[in-house]
Amino acid sequence: MIRLLLAGTFLFAWMSACASAAEINIGYLRRSDPKSTLSLVQTSAKDDGIAGARLAIDDNNTTGQFLNQQFSLEDVPLAGEGNASAATVALAERGISLVVADLPAGELLNAADAGSPRKVLFFNVGATDDRLREEDCRANVIHIAPTRSMLADALAQYLVWKQWRRWFLVVGSHAEDKLYGDALRRSAKRFGARIVQDKVFEDTGGARRTDSGVVQIQRQLPVFTQGAPAYDVLVAADESEVFASYLPYRTWDPRPVAGSAGLVPTSWDGSHDQWGAVQLQDRFMKQFSRRMTARDMQAWTAVRMIGESASRTGSTDPKAMLDFLKGPDFALAAFKGQRLTLRDWNLQLRQPILLSDGRMIVSVSPQEGFLHQVSELDTLGIDRPETQCRLK
């Protein structure tokens, strides 16, 4: 009888030990519609973004094996009319309350509002819109992607440090180009650069790749940039991939190009190798046979943040995770030379921004000398005193 009891106790202990292996299932919402780029080498891979999340799942599971935590990822690609809010509800109904979202701003807001009553916590890895962190901020959306204003400030600090203060700004004709143009104008004013010419590049339609090649472009671009007042650098805002990549080496005056081409501010680049980044780059290359992009890194960071809060709090509850991530004990190591933390007023991740020329990292902002009373990282983007975000 005693033996039976003992055996029963053992069985119970064994079963409860197994049961306590915490399962953390993370949803990944993304648009799978292809986006064209001017440069063939920049065409994004089908798994752009989610590859980073998968690598972070592996990294989390290596840690999880010591803590009895098991992480998994559920990919939800949305094509055409695919509805992000419906997908969120479907995930929530299956008990998935942590969602990495690579969606345009409007869809992200719909998904966030659909997820809010169901206690879903989102990690925005795609949308750079400042409004998501300002007037349209949500208490259940953490932003990993840097904002346009952070990217523009990172670039502006370097250009001003370089004493390239006279800018020729060229902005595309699409809505997102205009938003980036606005961010660049704000940065110029903030850091003491002067926009000597402000021009719009109208998108008149047309294919991005033609058999006739560059003959016309070589003639059009010098003419487009002719007659500008004296300037130091041409800054282009072209998120729509219509013209910026055509600018380097084709401006009327021999001037460097920055912004959407030339020297580009970004959260990550396949050439970044400082601060131990080679290890992450090697792991990524080994697994996916391509270089790691900014979107991959943003997704990696999001899933690592989930892993970090799970291992520190021992909890899988989104509320406990959010409290930890907002608190003073959270610090993420993400190969950027310093800790990454959250701005608690709008849930934006503080991060250094790399300046890449496409082959090498030219510099990393914030630049030396741009000081701040709390964190130098808060010299990038909209700071606490200016914020319009009121988290509820």
Q: Say how far residue 377 (Cα) sits from the centre of its chain.
A: 16
User: Does residue 70 interact with another protein by CB under 8 A?
Assistant: no
Binding-site size, another protein (CB under 8 A): 28
Instruction: Report residue 132 as tokens.
Output: 């998501």
- The angle at the Cα of 327, spanning 326 to 330, to the nearest 5 degrees, equals 90
Q: How far is the CB of 221 from another protein (least distance, A)?
A: 32
Binding piece for another protein, criterion CB under 8 A, among 21-29, 74-82, 188-196, 358-366: 358-366
Q: Which one-letter DSSP state was computed for residue 360?
A: S
Q: How far is the CB of 253 from another protein (least distance, A)?
A: 27
Q: Give the HSE-up count for residue 154: Cα atoms under 13 Å, Cβ half-sphere.
A: 24
Contact 380, 150 (CB under 8 A): yes
- The angle at the Cα of 241, spanning 238 to 246, to the nearest 5 degrees, equals 85
How do beta strands 348-349 and 342-343 pair? Answer: antiparallel
Greatest C-alpha distance within the chain: 98
Pick from 348, 363, 365, 379 the residue near another protein by CB under 8 A: 363
Instruction: Report residue 161 as tokens.
Output: 């440090």
User: Does residue 203 interact with another protein by CB under 8 A?
Assistant: no
User: Does residue 287 interact with another protein by CB under 8 A?
Assistant: no
Q: Which of 150, 100, 148 is nearest to 124 (CA)?
A: 100
Q: How far is the CB of 166 from another protein (least distance, A)?
A: 22
Residue 210 exposed, middle or buried by CB count within 10 Å (0-12, 13-18, 19+): exposed
Pick the closer one to another protein by CB: 158 or 191. 158
Contact 79, 32 (CB under 8 A): yes
User: Does residue 274 interact with another protein by CB under 8 A?
Assistant: yes
Pick from 193, 377, 380, 382 the residue near another protein by CB under 8 A: 377
Instruction: Report residue 274 as tokens.
Output: 């400082």
How do beta strands 194-201 and 166-172 pair? Answer: parallel
Pick from 22, 67, 195, 322 the residue near another protein by CB under 8 A: 67
Residue 7 backbone phi and psi in degrees, to 5: -60, -40
Residue 14 exposed, middle or buried by CB count within 10 Å (0-12, 13-18, 19+): exposed
User: Does residue 66 interact with another protein by CB under 8 A?
Assistant: yes
Pick the closer one to another protein by CB: 106 or 337. 337
Q: How far is the CB of 154 from another protein (least distance, A)?
A: 14
Pick the closer one to another protein by CB: 340 or 382. 340
Pick the closer one to another protein by CB: 66 or 95. 66
Report the 10 Å Cβ neighbour count for 2: 6
Binding piece for another protein, criterion CB under 8 A, among 9-17, 145-153, 174-182, 373-381: 373-381
Pick the closer one to another protein by CB: 70 or 311. 311
Binding piece for another protein, criterion CB under 8 A, among 171-179, 193-201, 263-271, 303-311: 303-311
Pick the closer one to another protein by CB: 63 or 315. 63
Task: Give residues 141-180 in contact with another protein (rule: CB under 8 A).
Answer: none
| CA torsion through residues 206, 207, 211, 217, sign | positive
Binding piece for another protein, criterion CB under 8 A, among 145-153, 186-194, 236-244, 374-382: 374-382
What does R_g of the chain's alpha carbons equal in angstroms? Answer: 23
Task: In whole angstroms, give the CA distance from residue 162 to residue 153.
Answer: 14
Pick the closer one to another protein by CB: 67 or 320. 67
Each residue 24-63 as x (binds another protein by CB under 8 A) or -, in order, gives -----------------------------------x--xx
Task: Give residues 317-346 in contact with another protein (rule: CB under 8 A).
Answer: 331-333, 337-339
User: Does residue 364 interact with another protein by CB under 8 A?
Assistant: yes
Q: Say how far residue 208 (Cα) sits from the centre of its chain.
A: 25
Q: How far is the CB of 73 from another protein (least distance, A)?
A: 17
Pick the closer one to another protein by CB: 203 or 378. 378
User: Does residue 269 interact with another protein by CB under 8 A?
Assistant: no
Contact 51, 284 (CB under 8 A): yes
Residues in the site for another protein, rule: CB under 8 A? 59, 62-63, 66-67, 273-276, 279, 282-283, 304, 308, 311-312, 331-333, 337-339, 361, 363-364, 375-377
